[in-house]
Structure 1
Amino acid sequence: MDKQRQYERVFNHLDENGDGKISASELQQCVASMGGKMSVEESEAAVRLMDSDGDGLLCLEDFVRIVEGAGDEEKGTDLMGAFKMYEMEGCGYINPKSLKRMLRRLGESKSTNECRKMIARFDLNGDGVLSFDEFKNMMSC
């Protein structure tokens, strides 16, 4: 089976109501079915970040673009989306508390002190938090 067909099968599985789009609630249900937790606000933010035509839903092309991570500009957008998911507090940086919370949602249990150490490895200016530029550097390693 070729990649496109595989993407379509996964997409159709996520598209529970069969409308050809993935809504924030369908995304949230998908994450829950895999044992994760995603709030309504988080699922809506994720869809907003990934939605290419502004209709508030993900089409197959959005899904494929996300999966394949095509293009440098789109990768930058995807990185910003990932940054915002870790940031979670709207403050413009990732602190140990927000990193710990996001890692826990991803199934990784770390102490706040461990998160401080993780941040310190990429904290170029020594302020104890990660800016978007520092996060980009971390993700390129």
Structure 2
Amino acid sequence: MSVLQTNDLKRIFQELDKNGDGLLSAEELNWLLECIGGVHFSLQELESSVGKSCLNVDEFLLFYDSITKQGGDGNSEAEPADDQDQGCNKEDCDLVEAFKVFDSNGDGFISTEEVQSMLSRLGLWDEKTGKDCRGMISKYDTNLDGVLDFDEFKKMMLHTSS
């Protein structure tokens, strides 16, 4: 189960496509990255990373898919601590960065409230989503503490069973 489903991603795409041309420009994608994670790229860096200057909705879905399901065996045990980021593989480093985006208070855990906050910033929050967030956290919360630690988040993002 992914944090964001296809319908959610399509809604995000529509919200980001400010000029309604059916394409997400590097500027629009850059705005999203700055908004949700404080990540700042030059437009040239972003275009180089994405491989294009604009993405249609299908390419946006593939882009999301590529950054959340990058393959690999998922056996590496990276922690979200800054001092360990340098030794992690590409997949784990990306997961650490994604974890930090959701862990807005920096306590090392992702709560339902933090997921709600992120979805609100993306314009995707409603009552049904709130129930889905609680269900998602409880599904992957293997130690039953009500929040996701990095390992639980990683299992969720890589779709592995506990």
Same fold (TM over 0.5): yes
2:17 is the counterpart of 1:27: no
**Percent pairwise identity:** 31
**TM score, norm. by length of structure 1:** 0.55
2:139 to 113, 121, 131: 121
Task: Give the root-mean-square deviation of aligned CA atoms.
Answer: 3.4
For residues 101 and 120 of structure 2, what CA distance do their matches in structure 1 show?
A: 13
Shift of the 110–86 alpha-carbon distance from structure 1 to 2, 3 Å rule, reads farther
Shift of the 71–126 alpha-carbon distance from structure 1 to 2, 3 Å rule, reads closer
For structure 1, the residue ranges without an aligned partner over 5 or more in a row are 1-9, 16-25, 48-55
2:101 is the counterpart of 1:85: yes
Q: How many residues align?
A: 102
Higher RCO (Cα < 8 Å, 6 or more apart)? 2
1:1-141 alignment, distance < 5 Å? 14=26, 27-28=30-31, 31=32, 38=35, 42-43=37-38, 46-47=39-40, 57=42, 59=45, 60-64=47-51, 67=63, 69=67, 73-111=89-127, 112-141=130-159
For residues 126 and 155 of structure 2, what CA distance do their matches in structure 1 show?
A: 21
Q: How many Å apart are 1:121 and its aligned residue?
A: 0.6
For the pair shown, the structure with the greater C-alpha radius of gyration is: 1
**Corresponding letter in the other structure for 1:38:** C
For structure 2, the residue ranges without an aligned partner over 5 or more in a row are 1-22, 52-62, 73-88
**TM score, norm. by length of structure 2:** 0.49
For residues 110 and 146 of structure 2, what CA distance do their matches in structure 1 show?
A: 9
